[in-house]
Structure 1
Amino acid sequence: MHTKHNWITTPITADLLRGALDLERTAHGLLPHRLPARARAQCADGQLAMAEAQPSGVRLVFRTRATAVELDTLPTKRVYVGAPPRPDGVYDLLVDGRLTGQASVKGGNTLTIDLTTGTTENRPGPVGTLSFTDLSEGVKDVEIWLPHNETTELVALRTDAPVEPLPDRGRRVWLHHGSSISHGSDATGPTTTWPALAASLGDVELINLGLAGSALLDPFTARAMRDTPADLISLKMGINLVNIDLMRLRAFTPAVHGFLDTIREGHPTTPLLVVSPILCPIHEDTPGPGAFDFSALSEGKLRFQATGDPAERAAGKLTLNVIREELSRIVEQRAADDPHLHYLDGRALYGEADFAELPLPDELHPDAATHRRIGERFAGLAFTANGAFTEDSV
């Protein structure tokens, strides 16, 4: 396998990685985390642990003359009992900012999840190798975006020419937090999640704290954002609070204020954009909890449904419309003393007309075409004209 190249093995270190808040040394190599160890220690939830260890937005970046690159990784694949097989995670290769290759790594560990019983089973597997060859001659900037939805331990990096850390390009850093939609659920690759697309269009460096099932106003997430250097910050919140049925309106309002207060402790004047949920018809006026539609599962399809009673809104149960109204009110109230705080109604990114054209396949998550639409819409609304993230806003 290595006969054609004089391989140079370069240790994978923090200066070759972007988008991770922490790196854990494992028996095999390096595991990128999107929440710091102190945050992870404060919550034993398995869904959060899985989500934050999936490297959405995390990429290896370096400058090199190499024409061939190999990366050994140990992925963890998810298998849902009774559901269609999940495709292997995709690695995107960018050379000088342009997508020039895509590949997957076979093998790896397997995490089998039984949605009917809530049980999981882990089965260890072998390290695999990712190979990109025939790269252009000369010095170039290389980025390997890790799969957004597949836990990935980095084992070894080999090239046929030396590599060096990528110099700082002076681009602004955008720190974003949201749910599985921001994490990238159902996007086809790591550079086509809507935040990655928006970051490319806005010419910014992305740190994506989109955490599937885990955008829950957790104080440790707010502290992680407070302590992370950033030039632009956005929060997309709402859908997980409804579909997990975590809190009622009485708790929601002070939790939002507390989350924003904590971020402002570290970023007092940073442009901060609060984004309410995109349209999701099952939860617009129906509270959670959300649940798997097991009749669909029996047909091999993954679909979600709302199980709450709309009448419970009177008792403070949260729906997406309740959350949008309250977020708008909170931002308007705080903006009187915080001119760098902004609000964006998520239905401007994906609303009723979009749902009619591009429905949510599982009633909850956008497909690849919708990720592109949301990313382009966000870039247009946030990074241009009078958007919260224009150069004049900083």
Structure 2
Amino acid sequence: MSEYQYYEFQALDRPLSDEEQEQLRAISSRARITATSFTNTYNWGDLSGNPRRMVERCFDAHLYVTNWGTHRLMFRLPKQTLALPTVKPYCLDHHIEAWTTRTHLLLEMTSEDESGDWVEGADDSLAALIGVRDELATGDLRPLYLAWLSALAARELEDDDEEEYQTCPEPPVPAGLADLTAPQRALADFLRVDADLLAAAAQASPAAPNESARPTKKELAPLIAALPQQEKDGLLLRLVLGPELRLRTDLLHRLRGTTAPATAPGRRSAAHILDAAHTLSTERRQRAEHERATARAQCLTALASEAESAWQRIEAHISTKKTSAYDQAVTLLAELRDAYAHTGRDADFRSRLIRLREDYRRRPGLIHRLDHHGLR
């Protein structure tokens, strides 16, 4: 398999200037560059620019995917929408990093899994993940907690120091971890968040408040009328100076007084959460094994009740003298053996098998298959 790297950058709050697009063209002559995006795929070589610097200067979102298991997502948000002290408790090793420029906060989330399967031609894009940025900007910290869980699992694979996990504190726990939004579910998949680890974390997360999805004119009209004149002027100015993609979101939150899911102080250690996830995983496997065993027992009971019909099908397969039919006969015989054993009739099966082997002792292909499957 050849090398594969996919880079995608999106400008959301403002379009790129002609000068910025020319600067980006100097980084890559093959990239697809528009007023709001930069995308390129590499099967050899690499991007000559620094993705962090590109996001700091021009872009609000960046996705990077490779066929050796790297998934990276980066967002740039105005400082006033997400403060560095809010993000820092969720930063863990090199998997989650945050820093600031004069005007923005930068957040980078990385998942590495060299053993994971990579699907060539997969639809790798920012489309499903871009909504996470708006959620972070409106105070929803669930994406940060998901990234922390991803980093925690990665650290467990890299380091077995149990004492470190005992002293590693849980960051603030957002409400609604058991009821993720569509972008958050996509983020959990992208960062390879273990389902049992998420379920264990969600045990300490209260339910998120319910909010109607689409406001009505009747609801919004009096809210708009009640806005101070100076604030209305400011909103109109932002609209005229647009495009500003966040304007509608900001205004709706201002009008309706809605807030992002609240957070509660993290009270558990990383070790506690990992242990709880392990318990959930063990219980889930045991349930699955029990369900498989129950289903298997039902199948064997049903087969045992129709044993004579099964013997007739076996004889019919053998009578064709075809190798494929021999295989079918032996497979059914092995199932029938288990069915007789399940119902406590091993001796009956043994007696019928001896007669069958005697009847077809001159069929070496069949006898070889019976011996190979332990049907002696």
TM-score past 0.5 threshold: no
Which structure exhibits the higher relative contact order, with contacts defined as CA atoms closer than 8 Å and separated by 6 or more residues?
1
Higher helix share: 2
Higher strand share: 1
TM-score, normalising length from structure 1? Answer: 0.24
